Structure 1
Amino acid sequence: MQLPLQLPLQLLNPLKLVTGLGLAAFVSLSSLSGCAVAQPAKPTVVILATGGTIAGAGASAVNSATYAAAKVPVDKLLAGLPELASVANVRGEQVFQIASESFTNDNLVKLGKRVSALVKQPDVDGIVVTHGTDTLEETAYFLNLVVRTSKPIVVVGSMRPGTALSADGALNLFDAVSVAASKDAGGKGVLVTMNDEINSGRDVVKLVNIKTEAFKSQWGPLGMIVEGNNYWFRAPVKRHTAQSEFNIDDFDVLPAVEIVYGYGNMPRSAVDLFGNAGVKALIHAGTGNGSVADRNVAALQEVRAKGIQVIRSSRVPAGFVLRNAEQPDDKYDWVVAHDLNPQKARILAAVALTRGVDSKELQRIFWQY
């Protein structure tokens, strides 16, 4: 029998066949001989949908900033992105259908418990949470604190509705599923994937309200996603998820923690109001290095004397609050929020106070988380 011209005597040497013809030809020949190469099983990713812009719709394609959020259910989101099937076995659940500015503590707890239940299932490899961007950073940080797992959890949103020209939601969601399906994303805490970047759910904040590159961390992204591939550059060092001392399975209600915002001419009335409202902690979003106006120092001391924790944060979007600078925190028995902005400081304080910690323990927690 004469060999075909395109397959010369290399057929007599399997090694030369692979190197000479390439893997595709080898696989094809293997299939012809009854030795098909088995494909690895795809990971399973569950998408928990909560609403937001990623599920929004505008009146026309030019409406990128004027639209109705939380209109598209998760099944339609998935149906519009068939490319997800090439990455993972994906299924969706509609947990909420709300704009994220309306998120409550009860919503956080319900979502956290559902994520915790799913990651315990051996057939679930990763979780994606679709979320509105207004409070996305708070939810990501909450999950980072209370879900005990090393499996990837990714929170994702979009700045433009899916009906807009150059909508960012589809690629953001594809990237989120790619990250949640990848083994190398495990053990890095809760992640946020938007605008091709992978950020820590602890660090990331919404800095711009009109651009697709809205979310940034002052410490930089953990990595990037390019065509479904992860490229990592750093890892988080603060405690999170599997290493956390907190567990969503241990509580059902978050204690009341409120924020007062510092500004020029700020009266003490807001401090007094919350001090008499039954809160367990009060975050002071101070100017500069968490500065407190002279007229409010006494007000916050009175709040602390009632057993309410006082936590100095800053309204400045970057940097961190130094203990015993600007105010004698040791003397007043106050806590500093370190580099956490006021809204994230509220989340951490509420979670920590589910365990009834004192001020020294609370400060230790703010250093470590």
Structure 2
Amino acid sequence: MPRLVTSSCLTVSALLIAACIALPLCSTAAQAADTATTSNSRQSLPRVIVLATGGTISGTADARSAIGYNSGERTGKQLIKDVPDIGKFATISAEQISNVGSQDMSDGIWFQLAKRIDEIFARGEAEGVVITHGTDTMEETAFFLKNVLHSRQPVVLVGSMRPGGVVGADGPNNLLEAVEVAASPQSKGRGVMVVMNDTIHDPRWITKTNTTSVQTFMSPNAGPIGYVDPASVRYVAPATEARPSGFTLPAAGQLPRVDIVYAHSNMDASQIDHAVADNAKGIIVAGVGDGDVSKAALSAMERAAKMGIVVVRASRVGTGFVNRNVEIDDDKSGFVASLDLNPQKARLLTQLLIANGVTTPAKVQDAFSTTY
């Protein structure tokens, strides 16, 4: 019996020693397997590059008023760090293009964005791009990019109505959902979009409708193209036909001058005459109703058109279409009707057309009908 006890004790001891030796090895092997799984998971995620330009989403609160803030004070990398779950949708990197309030958005920043995005997709650096941007001119930047980019891979503009660090800040969730949309397989071939407040919009239709509400962006003439939340991306409209950009950006880095003139009661010819004197190559008239103006302003518009200046009738009204030849004889006067484009987008399209040598009323009108 004593020999059996001794033998048993030795056997147990041997097993304990073997287990102690094997345990670290098993633990190390498990850790290695977990690391490999994590690495493979990261490699399988789509790549998204965030191009930061500034705006309220990059702003910080200021005590000068209850809702005061300063735009463009935080970087794109800092914004990403504010959203812990953002890495589950994509492998993300950030680049700083500018850091301005969108009221200071310029041709130079637009050209830089367009060049960098074309490079990213041409070189295969990412599957999607997100642009953080101020809301005041976001619809213009989106419309510009949609018309000049050479790729139809997803480019998502996003912003916020409230700066970081305040109660109800909407920037982190908007940025999370923008990355989710840019990384989604459903977004392939859809090109430029805007994501705000759980909603996906097409640049042609979207516009800012409220000065402070988080539900400011709407597409009143067409509706949103989709919806997003942290769990899903849902499109309700098909992707538009893929077409290469027909526009070449000027080598000088600046678009031609096109002025917007706002119509009002008791309007005279002075604003239009001043635009001509200031060497505007195009004039967008934000007319009353269906793009109408006073008789004095109409005469000034006709004089400008005869001088070879592109004259476009838009409307100061927030919804609806500006149709041709309703109260004004556009054919006789040599005018262009903006159709569904609001004055700011009509200006952008006119600038691109003039920069590419398209200036006759018929050809400009055709572009307004067929462009994105």
Alpha-carbon distance between aligned partners in 1 of 2:259 and 2:192, rounded to the nearest angstrom: 24
| Closer, same or farther: CA 209–235 of 1 in aligned 2, 3 Å | farther
Which of residues 208, 214, 217 is equivalent to 2:216? 214
What amino acid maps onto 2:350 in structure 1? A
> What CA distance in whole angstroms lies between the structure 2 residues aligned with 1:251 and 1:69?
29
Q: Name 1:317's counterpart in structure 2.
A: 318
In the alignment, is the contact (CA less than 8 A) between 2:250 and 2:355 conserved in 1? no
1:243 shift after superposition: 3.5
Whether contact under 8 Å (1:116, 1:147) holds in the other structure is yes
Whole-angstrom CA distance in 1 between matches of 2:112 and 2:270: 34
Q: What is the rounded CA distance, in whole Å, between the counterparts of 1:347 and 1:269 in structure 2? A: 23
The answer to which structure has the higher helix fraction is 2
Alignment of 1:186-225 (within 5 A): 186-218=188-220, 219-225=222-228
The CA distance in 2 between the partners of 1:249 and 1:180, in whole Å, is 29
The Cα shift of 1:252 comes to: 3.3
What is the Cα deviation at residue 236 of structure 1? 5.5
Q: Is 1:44–1:90's contact at 8 Å kept on the other side of the alignment?
A: yes
Contact 2:257 2:280 (8 Å CA) reproduced: yes
Residues 36 and 265 of structure 1: CA distance in aligned 2, closer, same or farther (over 3 Å): closer
Q: Which of these residues, 45, 48, 53, is aligned with residue 50 of structure 1?
A: 53
C-alpha distance after superposition, 1:241-277 (max 9, x if no partner): x433224487733111110001111221110000111
Name 1:368's counterpart in structure 2: 370
SS of equivalent to 2:157: strand
- Report deviation, 1:127: 0.6
Q: 1:82 aligns with which of 57, 61, 84?
A: 84
Post-superposition shift, 1:352?
1.3
Of all paired residues, the percent bearing the same amino acid is 36
Q: Secondary structure at the match of 1:46?
A: strand
Q: Show CA shifts across 1:161-214 (max 9, x none).
A: 011101000000000001111121122231000000000112100001111001
Residues 28-177 of structure 1 mapped to structure 2, 5 A cutoff: 39=41, 41-59=44-62, 63=66, 65-177=67-179
C-alpha deviation, 1:36, in angstroms: 12
Listed as ranges, the matches of 1:9-20 within 5 Å are none
CA-CA distance at 1:43 after TM superposition:
0.7
Q: Is residue 47–residue 129 contact of structure 1 (8 Å, CA) maintained in 2?
A: yes
SS of match in other structure, 1:243: coil
Q: Is the 8 A contact 1:159 1:212 kept in 2?
A: yes
SS of 1:163's partner is coil
Q: Is the 8 A contact 1:189 1:201 kept in 2?
A: no
Q: What is the SS of the residue equivalent to 2:97?
A: strand
Matched, 1:180 2:185: no
Q: Distance in 2 between matches of 1:46 and 1:38?
A: 20
The answer as to 2:347 corresponding to 1:351 is no
Aligned position for 1:327: 328
CA RMSD of aligned residues (A): 2.3
Contact residue 97 and residue 109 of structure 2 kept, 8 A = no
Q: Give 1:192-341 correspondences, 5 Å limit.
A: 192-218=194-220, 219-235=222-238, 237=240, 242-248=243-249, 252-341=253-342
Q: What SS does the aligned partner of 2:70 have?
A: coil
SS of residue in 2 equivalent to 1:154: strand
The whole-number CA distance in structure 2 between the counterparts of 1:36 and 1:129 is 28
Q: Distance in 2 between matches of 1:135 and 1:37?
A: 39
The CA distance in 2 between the partners of 1:86 and 1:228, in whole Å, is 11
TM-score normalised per structure 2 = 0.85
Structure 1's 122 and 133: CA in aligned 2 closer, same or farther, altered over 3 A?
Answer: same
C-alpha separation in 1, matches of 2:296 and 2:239: 39
What's the counterpart of residue 26 of structure 2? none
Letter in 2 for 1:335: V
Q: CA deviation at 1:56?
A: 0.5
Relative to structure 1, the CA distance from residue 298 to residue 337 in structure 2 (aligned partners, 3 Å threshold; closer, same or farther) is same
**Cα deviation, residue 136, structure 1:** 0.5
Aligned counterpart, 1:18: none
Distance 1:236 1:265, change over 3 A: farther
One-letter amino acid of the counterpart of residue 50, structure 2: I
- Determine the C-alpha separation between the residues in 1 that align with 2:167 and 2:38: 44
Query: Is residue 284–residue 311 contact of structure 1 (8 Å, CA) maintained in 2?
Result: yes
For the structure 1 residues 295 and 75, does the alpha-carbon distance in structure 2 shift closer, same or farther, using more than 3 Å as the test?
same
Number of residue pairs matched by the alignment: 335
- Residue ranges of structure 1 left out of the alignment (5+ in a row): 1-27
Task: Provide TM-score, normalisation by structure 1.
Answer: 0.86
CA contact under 8 A between 1:49 and 1:92: conserved in structure 2?
A: yes
Conservation of the 8 A alpha-carbon contact between 1:175 and 1:228: no
Q: Distance in 2 between matches of 1:183 and 1:255?
A: 38
Q: Distance in 2 between matches of 1:339 and 1:250?
A: 30
Deviations 1:56-76 (A, max 9, x none): 11036x94x311111111121
Once the two structures are overlaid, the 10-residue window that deviates more, 187-196 or 167-176, is: 187-196
SS of aligned partner of 1:191: strand
Provide Cα deviations, 1:303-333, integer angstroms capped at 9, x if missing partner.
1111100000001010000011121000011
Q: Is the 8 A contact 1:112 1:248 kept in 2?
A: no
- d(CA) in 1 for partners of 2:363 and 2:197? 37
Which amino acid is the alignment partner of residue 351 of structure 1?
A: L
